[in-house]
Structure 1
Amino acid sequence: MTSLVLPGVYTPQDDTDLLAGALDDEPIQPGSSVLDLCTGSGALALLAAGRGARVTAVDVSRRAVCTARLNALHARVPVRIRRGDLFAPVDGQSFDLIISNPPYVPAPPSRSVPSGPARAWDAGGDGRLLLDRICREAPGRLRPGGVVLLVQSALSGVDRTLHRLRESELKASVVRRRHIGFGPVLRERAAWLRERGLLAPGEDREELVVVRAERPC
Structure 2
Amino acid sequence: MKIAVLGGLGLQGRAAIADLVASDGVEEIVCVDTAPDGPARLAGLTDLARVRFVVPEGAIGQALATVLDDVDAVIDLLPQPLMREAVKAAIATRTPLVTTNYAKSIADLAPAAEQAGVSIMTECGLDPGIDLVLYARAARQFDSISSIDSYCGGIPEPKAMAKPLCYKVSWNFDMVLVSQNRDSVMIEDGNRVAVPAGQQHDNPFIHEIEVAGLGRLEAFPNGDALHYVEMLDAAKGLRRSGRYT
Q: TM-score, normalised by structure 1?
A: 0.49
Larger radius of gyration: 2
RCO comparison, higher one (Cα < 8 Å, 6+):
1
